[in-house]
């Protein structure tokens, strides 16, 4: 096994069990290692720190599999880690009976670069690092063993793979496409899942609990769902008794799927649903000019800041969209605002929303702080895993 020897003083993050080692921390590599190979990590005094996946083309030069320098990284290792991640979900009462479930949440489950989501009897896996890519077969075998699912589909086509020197990989790894389109039921609402062409692995499971909360808040309200994608929030609002739900997205295909999802739920009042294909920023400005107001607004935009380096530019976009949202709320109205940008922390996001309320001339208070669902745990040693943050705010 090759040895990755760190520069003096650069072992501190490993002592804190942070799973990433950046290129600037590395002194030298002794021996030969290809992308994804397991290397032994040593401090500059040759003290063993653990074993990691080597990625020579990435600024994250290595990702720790284990901080136990004696633990073998082999097929059995992945079987154990995957079984532990699945068992964790099975032990959570709030996840019982869920047809859509995150099984592996990358670094927070001790498997850097590995995402696995289950939709019924189908698992969708996303491998974003060189180490995860190398252990594809072992990961698939571990998932099949732990879940008993019939099929595994790969959606390793995110831009992050390019930073690792990897190309996109998609397709069936085990089994074949089901005979009928894939759909799940979430909080009493049926939703189609496009694992081949949808965002991420086909759906945003991290917002499950927040969608349920929206349903509980929607009775008798005029709801505006911005960046609605395939209308998960919108359908929960209708199920919760909203008087009207306007769903906006710039993607025509997403709105088509949103309408199709509504059609999967004949119990919902389709006449109360309105759809608008438009740039959300411009649409909200137009509503402002027209004097149109709402009781409850959801702002769930795409990732404006993929890293901390983009945070300043992203902050302006987040502030602008929240100003527009605040101005469209009736007195007593609710704003449910989110950021999924890893480069924008909760403290920064709260300040952005507070500044937006001030600029919009609204007095507002935080009713709840919102985060990802229970199947998206965050390791205490890896705060970067808490990418989704949100606020439920009420205005006077």
Would you say residue 230 lies in a domain?
yes
Q: Do 61 and 85 have their domain in common?
A: no
Among 66, 88, 116, the domain-final residue is 66
Tokens 């136990």 locate to 68
Sheet harboring 38-42: ordered strands across? 20-22, 60-66, 48-54, 38-42, 3-6, 26-30
Enter the pTM of the model: 0.94
Distance CA 213, CA 239 (A): 12
CATH number at 51 reads 2.30.130.10
Residue 49 counted as domain residue: yes
**Given 174, 195, 211, which residue is the final one in a domain?**
174
Residues 17 and 134 in one domain: no
Give just the sign of the alpha carbon dihedral 321, 324, 329, 332: positive
- Is 182 among the domain residues? no
Predicted confidence (pLDDT) per residue in 97-142, tens digit: 999 999 999 999 999 999 999 999 999 999 999 999 999 999 999 9
> Do 196 and 113 share a structural domain?
no
User: Do the domain assignments include residue 179?
Assistant: no
pLDDT at 8: 97
Tell me: do 205 and 342 sit in the same domain. Answer: yes
Residue span of the structural domain in which 103 resides = 75-174
232-248 per-position pLDDT tens digit: 999 999 999 999 999 99
**222 lies in some domain:** yes
Check whether residue 31 and residue 91 sit in a common domain.
no
On whether both 263 and 170 belong to a single domain, the answer is no
Task: Examine the domain organization and report whether 52 and 80 are in the same domain.
Answer: no
Kindly report the CATH number assigned to the domain that includes residue 289.
Answer: 3.40.50.150
Contacts of 162 (CB under 8 A, 6+ apart): none
Contact assessment for residue 175 and residue 143, using Cβ atoms and an 8 Å cutoff: no
Domain at 106, CATH number: 3.30.750.80
Query: pLDDT tens digits for the chain (396 residues)?
Result: 999 999 999 999 999 999 999 999 999 999 999 999 999 999 999 999 999 999 999 999 999 999 999 999 999 999 999 999 999 999 999 999 999 999 999 999 999 999 999 999 999 999 999 999 999 999 999 999 999 999 999 999 999 999 999 999 999 999 999 999 999 999 999 999 999 999 999 999 999 999 999 999 999 999 999 999 999 999 999 999 999 999 999 999 999 999 999 999 999 999 999 999 999 999 999 999 999 999 999 999 988 866 666 677 788 999 999 999 999 999 999 999 999 988 888 999 999 999 999 999 999 999 999 999 999 999 999 999 999 999 999 999
Instruction: Please indicate, yes or no, whether residues 194 and 141 belong to a single structural domain of this protein.
Output: no
Go through the chain and tell me how many residues it has: 396
Active centre residues (catalytic): 340
Do 80 and 126 lie in one domain? The reply is yes
Domain-located, residue 236? yes
**Number of domains into which the chain is organized:** 3
Rounded-to-integer distance, Cα 200 and Cα 302, Å:
12
Structure tokens that stand for 358 in this block: 């001030």
**Spatial separation of the C-alpha atoms in residues 314 and 302, rounded to whole Å:** 11
Same-domain check for residues 329 and 350: yes
Domain membership flag for residue 55: yes
Question: What is the SS3 string spanning the chain?
Answer: CCEEEECCCCCHHHHCCCCEEEHHHEEEEECCCCCCCEEEEECCCCCEEEEEEECCCCCEEEEEEECCCCCCCCHHHHHHHHHHHHHHHHCCHHHCCCCEEEEEEHHHHCCCCEEEEEECCEEEEEECCHHHHHCHHHHHHHHHHHHCCCEEEEEECCCHHHHCCCCCEEEEEECCCCCCCCEEEECCEEEECCCCCCCCCCCCHHHHHHHHHHHHHCCCCEEEEECCCCCHHHHHHHHCCCCEEEEEECCHHHHHHHHHHHHCCCCCCHHHEEEEECCHHHHHHHHHHHCCCEEEEEECCCCCCCCHHHHHHHHHHHHHHHHHHHHCEEEEEEEEEEECCCCCCHHHHHHHHHHHHHHCCCCEEEEEEEECCCCCCCCCCCHHHCCCEEEEEEEC
- In terms of domains, do 231 and 334 share one? yes
Residue 181 is assigned to a structural domain of this protein: no
- Domain ends where: 174, 203, 223? 174
Same domain, residue pair 17 and 103 = no
């Amino acid at each position: 096994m090759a040895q990755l020897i760190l520069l003096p003083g650069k072992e501190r993050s490993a002592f804190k069990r942070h799973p990433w080692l950046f290129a600037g921390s590395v002194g030298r590599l002794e021996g030969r290692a290809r992308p994804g190979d397991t290397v032994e990590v040593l401090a500059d005094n040759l003290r063993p720190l653990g074993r990691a996946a080597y990625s020579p083309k990435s600024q994250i030069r290595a990702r720790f599999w284990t901080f136990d320098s004696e633990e073998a990284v082999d097929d059995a290792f992945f079987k154990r880690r995957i079984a532990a991640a699945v068992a964790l979900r099975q032990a959570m009462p709030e996840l019982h009976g869920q047809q859509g479930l995150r099984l592996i949440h990358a670094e927070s489950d001790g498997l850097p670069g590995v995402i696995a989501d289950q939709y019924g009897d189908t698992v969708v896996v996303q491998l974003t690092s060189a180490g995860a890519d190398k252990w594809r077969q072992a990961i698939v075998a571990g998932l099949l063993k732990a879940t008993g699912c019939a099929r595994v589909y790969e959606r390793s086509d995110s831009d992050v793979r390019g930073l690792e020197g990897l190309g996109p990989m998609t397709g069936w790894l085990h089994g074949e496409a089901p005979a009928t389109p894939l759909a799940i039921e979430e909080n009493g609402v049926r939703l189609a899942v496009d694992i081949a062409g949808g965002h991420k692995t086909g759906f945003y499971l991290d917002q499950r609990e927040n969608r349920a909360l929206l349903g509980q808040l929607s009775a008798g309200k005029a709801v505006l769902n911005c960046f609605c994608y395939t209308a998960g929030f919108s359908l929960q609002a209708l199920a919760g008794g909203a008087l009207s739900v306007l769903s906006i997205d710039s993607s025509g295909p997403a709105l088509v799927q949103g309408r199709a999802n509504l059609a999967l739920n004949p119990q919902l009042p389709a006449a109360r649903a309105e759809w608008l294909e438009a740039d959300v920023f411009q649409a909200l400005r137009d509503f402002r000019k027209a004097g149109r107001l709402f009781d409850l607004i959801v702002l769930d935009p795409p990732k404006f800041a993929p890293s901390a380096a983009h945070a300043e530019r992203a902050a302006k976009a987040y502030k602008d969209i929240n100003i527009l949202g605040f101005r469209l709320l009736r007195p007593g109205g609710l704003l449910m605002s989110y950021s999924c940008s890893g480069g924008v922390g909760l403290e920064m996001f709260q300040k952005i929303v507070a500044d937006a309320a001030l600029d919009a001339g609204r007095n507002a208070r935080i009713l709840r702080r919102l985060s990802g669902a229970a199947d998206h745990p965050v390791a205490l040693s890896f705060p970067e895993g808490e990418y989704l943050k949100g606020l439920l705010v009420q205005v006077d």
